Amino acid sequence: MKTTNFIILLVAAVILFHSCNKSQKNKLPIVNINGREIANLNLLELKDTTYVKLSQIAKNLRVVALETNQDCLISGDIFFDLGNQYIIAHDISGAYQFSMDGTFIRKLYIHGGGPGEIPQTFPDCYLVEDEDLFLAATRDHIYQYQLSSGRFLGTNGKPVLRPREQMNTFKYVRDSLILFSYFNVGTPKNDFPEDSLDCGIKLQELNGKVLWQKKFDYSSWSIHPVMKIGLLTGSNTYILSTNNADEFVIQISDHDTVYKLNTTTYSLYPSLLRESEIQNKDGFPIDRLVANCFIENNEYACANGYQLMRFEYVTNEPVGWDYNVELYYILYDANIKRAFRIGTFENDYLGFVHNTV
């Protein structure tokens, strides 16, 4: 259910994009929700397309060539975790640790059943450099590795999930606190009502004590493009880091309201409306895969009030697995509540994974 083809370069780079220009251009309409004024971003109405180089919107941009040898042959389908000291690349075989200049250091884990090996392909990972930790979370375990030595430190706790709940996004907050999102998956039956297909977020200690949780009664359809079979599940819920270690952005796929969560005060409040839904089935939005639907992609972070969003708009009815998409790169500036649609990155595509030439 998770999507991966987004930016390699973390949005944690300080985004410049005309930050000194305080004009009214691209200002978003403001709506009032529970006494709070927030911006309303409608993707289809954002027609003004800006053509920029990536180097125009990110500070200190550089390319790091990762060393390859017989011990680190990385596949094409890959995730990256970037810190200040290390780059972690993980693919279907395991996780590889590199220095910030691209020098290969070691393989942190492999997939398997032995000590320190992880049975699940693509666990949810998190880099905690200030605690010398790399965490890899599955449904049943949270594996811990020491970054400075590569030593496997063992497993410590697991996400508290009910039988039908699937973990969506995993974050390590601080002091052995974890924050993760989940969704319920299944086929509704008489003993499994439709309204139980929810999603949500949980804040818990590694030892399993849940400190706070929030359930959202949001569900989405996923349509198989070949068999045309639809599966109704709880919606994908994405958690984005911010510059504030205690503050996170909560995005729920195919639903308008974006929230901010403070993990110290447990305050959750709406921060943005983001309208993207066109297609519905039985009153529920369609996450994928039919004509005229937006496919939302997971994002890494919201930095300095800037957020770079990536959507795929399916332009035609899929024929088998063949379908066309129109990419929507949206740069949202929460500081003055305006947004730009980036149509083309001229000359340098640095930091982006592109499915098309």
- pLDDT digits 0-9 by tens, 288-323: 888 888 888 888 788 888 898 888 888 888 888 888
Amino acid at 243: N
Cα–Cα distance measured from residue 155 to residue 140, given in angstroms and rounded to the nearest whole number = 10
Of 230 and 350, the one with more pLDDT: 230
The answer to whether residue 9 scores a pLDDT higher than 60 is no
Residue with tokens 């969704």: 183
- Kind plus residue range of the DSSP H or E element containing 308: strand 306-314
pLDDT digits (tens, 9 = 90+) for 54-67: 666 667 777 788 88
How far apart (Å, rounded) are the C-alpha atoms in residues 247 and 45? 29
This prediction has a pTM of 0.84
How far does Cα 206 stand from its chain's mean position?
22
The band of 90, judged by pLDDT with boundaries at 50, 70 and 90, is confident
Angle value at C-alpha 61, between 58 and 62, nearest 5 degrees: 160
Look at residue 129 and give its three-state secondary structure: helix
Sorted by sequence, the CB contacts under 8 Å of residue 146 that are 6+ apart come out as: 132, 133, 134, 153
User: What mean pLDDT comes out for the span 100-109?
Assistant: 92
* Residue 91 in this model has a pLDDT that exceeds 80: yes
Please tell me which residue, 195 or 147, carries the higher pLDDT value.
147
- Cα–Cα distance, 223 to 225 (Å, whole number): 6
Domains of the chain plus CATH, in order, are: 30-345 (2.120.10)
Please state the rounded mean pLDDT for residues 4-22. Answer: 39
> Confidence class of residue 5 from pLDDT cuts 50, 70 and 90?
very low
314-355 pLDDT, tens digit each = 888 888 888 888 888 888 999 999 888 887 665 554 444 443
Average pLDDT over residues 10-39: 65
With cut-offs at 50, 70 and 90, classify the pLDDT of residue 51: low
Sequence letter at residue 106: R
Q: What is the DSSP letter of 66?
A: P
Q: What is the phi/psi pair of residue 196, to 5°?
A: -90, -5
Residue 297 and residue 3 in contact, taking contact as beta carbons nearer than 8 Å: yes
8 pLDDT higher than 60:
no
The per-residue pLDDT for 296 is 87
pLDDT at 22 over 50: no
How much is the pLDDT for 207?
Answer: 86
Print burial letters for 142-178: b (CB count within 10 Å at least 16), e (below 16). Answer: bbbbebeeeebeebebbbbeeebbbbbbbbbbeeebb
DSSP letters, 262-304, are ETTTTEEEEEEEEE----EETTEEEEESSTTEEEE----BEET
Where residue 254 falls among pLDDT bands split at 50, 70, 90?
confident
Structure confidence by residue, pLDDT tens digits, 233-242: 899 999 999 9
How many angstroms separate the CA atoms of 129 and 162, rounded? 31
